[in-house]
Chains A and B, each alone.
Chain A
């Protein structure tokens, strides 16, 4: 069964450093999402791509976060500089139609 691939699974970084997460969606899925989940809360959408275009980044803290999907396939989410409050699980997901989305295993970030 096809899966959304994410790396790294775990990342520990010092505050003010840069960190990047990579995602490879399920083949053929045009829509790609980055969500952030803080313990005890539900996933919150950071950015949504349709092919290579951003369709929603209203919740992305653009002063420190950036995301790109240059060729409309895989995607990178970057945080620079990282802050203590960024510690969370970063989830990538993809969808063929936009209704049902399929998540990857997630990338755990701890900022110390």
Chain B
């Protein structure tokens, strides 16, 4: 049973536009959420996180939104840049154990 779901395996966006990556979860015990970026043949790199007591966290071009009632979070990247092209994983944490989604491949077209 997939507790963290990323239903879009891929997303293509024009450079300069907004990228919106979505993630849904099923376990209401999750209290911390993270986004990681992964290039091929490298380990995931931490991007941004949000605690369940907040509904928004912003860091430069990256903003994460959390809707607890819908058990949904999203990552907004604006403006998107070609270097943002990578696989993005959302992850959720309960009792210090991270559960990852299956990832979304973002392609930013120049």
A positions within 8 Å CB-CB of B: 4, 6, 31, 33, 40-45, 48, 56, 91, 93, 95, 97-106, 108
Contacts and interface: CB of A to CB of B under 8 A. Distances in A.
B60 interface: no
Contacts of A93: 43
Contacts of B102: 40-42
A108 B101 contact: no
B41 A108 contact: yes
A87 to B, nearest CB: 14
Contacts of B89: 42-43
8 residue pairs, one from A and one from B, having the closest CB atoms: A98-B96, A42-B100, A103-B43, A106-B43, A103-B44, A99-B32, A43-B100, A105-B43
Interface residues of B, number: 22
Contacts of A56: 97
Contact of A101 (B41, B98, B101, B103): B98
Contacts of B45: 103
Interface string B71-110: 0000000000000000001010100111111110000000
6 contacts: A4-B43, A6-B43, A41-B103, A56-B97, A99-B32, A99-B34
